[in-house]
């Protein structure tokens, strides 16, 4: 409740996942940003979203890093890469090193 100049206003707040087990909220931490995100998710009791598929990842990372959608060649190149843990990291590194960035 807030009072100011004779005016009164009330607001209701709630935690969306009150029953969430904070010990179950986890994902692999690779850097200091992951540590901070994980701490905030635990504080808010929000479980992390599952990993997206390669096509969604490629679209999101291109829009976030270089501000455009991936070309058909870039999509084919990602699909042609062997399944590895570093496949997505390689895409991010290439985009960060590109002249568009």
Do both 39 and 58 map to the same domain? Answer: no
Q: Copy the structure tokens of residue 28.
A: 């692999």
Do both 43 and 84 map to the same domain? Answer: no
Do both 35 and 71 map to the same domain? Answer: no
E runs forming strands in the chain:
2-4, 7-9
Residue 90 CA to residue 101 CA, distance in Å, equals: 15
Residue 36 CA to residue 50 CA, distance in Å, equals: 18
Do both 44 and 59 map to the same domain? Answer: no
Q: Which domain holds residue 19?
A: 1-50
Do both 59 and 40 map to the same domain? Answer: no
Residue 63 CA to residue 47 CA, distance in Å, equals: 25
Q: Domain count of the chain?
A: 2
Do both 45 and 64 map to the same domain? Answer: no
Do both 6 and 38 map to the same domain? Answer: yes
Mean pLDDT, consecutive 10-residue stretches, the chain (101 aa), reads 88 70 79 93 86 91 93 89 81 89 70
pLDDT at residue 19, rounded to an integer: 66
Contacts of 3 (CB under 8 A, 6+ apart): none
pLDDT at residue 72, rounded to an integer: 93
Do both 5 and 25 map to the same domain? Answer: yes
Do both 64 and 82 map to the same domain? Answer: yes
């Amino acid at each position: 409740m807030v009072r100011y100049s004779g005016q009164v206003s009330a607001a209701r707040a709630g935690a969306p996942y009150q029953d969430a087990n904070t010990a179950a909220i986890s994902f692999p931490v690779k850097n200091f940003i992951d540590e901070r995100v994980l701490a905030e998710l635990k504080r808010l009791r929000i479980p992390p979203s599952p990993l997206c598929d390669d096509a969604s990842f490629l679209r999101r990372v291109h829009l976030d890093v270089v501000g455009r959608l991936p070309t058909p060649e870039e999509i084919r190149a990602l699909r042609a890469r062997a399944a590895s843990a570093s496949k997505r990291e390689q895409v991010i590194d290439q985009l960060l090193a590109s002249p568009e960035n």
